[in-house]
Amino acid sequence: MRAKEWAAREGLNEQTVWKWCRENRMPVPFERSGSVWLIHDPKYERPFAPDAGSRTVCYVRVSSSDQKADLTRQADRLKAFAIGMGVESPEVVCETGSGMDDKRRRLNRILADPTVGTIIVEHRDRLARMNAGLVESALKAQGRRLIVVDDSELDDDLVRDMTEVLTSFCARLYGRRAARSKVEAVLRAARDA
């Protein structure tokens, strides 16, 4: 779990937990993943043990066909992550398509297949640009789980919601490919103002 969440559960200030991580004084195991501190407290985490008969699928997506090299690198990283978690033979499903719509055949097939117990994605927006939380809740209700490897996206719900709304509007105005860069430009302008 993230350091912020662990601090809240333990009744500590998150700044204190980050300081302990930086100074290597944490009372429980921890690691740094990119810019995020992950706390592995045994009393809150249950070890990953896939159900018998359930499959683990690594879902990889890029937006356009000129990103094929990134698709391969993403697939390799996810497969290595899954093997590091103890999954013996993770399946990798690759897809090229927009994250703004639901016309992705391979993802729809994975979501509809009850034998898939765990879906692993690199970033939440690789699953869906908007409402990925709804997909995660639906999976959890079925006894399945979604694992996001790099969950270092925006923490603030209001900022994340605003980014999703701006992405949606820009996708309609400028086309789906240019939407992300337009949103980033709007957010930079808002921060600089």
Give me the active site residues, please: 63
Judged by DSSP in three states, 191 sits in: helix
- The bridge status of strand 30-33 relative to strand 36-39 is antiparallel
Residue 78's nearest CA partner among 49, 112, 120 is 120
Q: Give the list of residues 6+ apart from residue 185 with CB closer than 8 angstroms, or none.
A: none
Q: What is the distance between the alpha carbons of residues 170 and 178, in angstroms, rounded to a whole number?
A: 8
Q: What is the distance between the alpha carbons of residues 169 and 143, in angstroms, rounded to a whole number?
A: 34
Rg (CA), the chain: 18
Helices 157-174 + 179-192 axis angle, to 10: 130
The one-letter code for the residue type at 88 is: E
Q: What is the distance between the alpha carbons of residues 29 and 8, in angstroms, rounded to a whole number?
A: 17
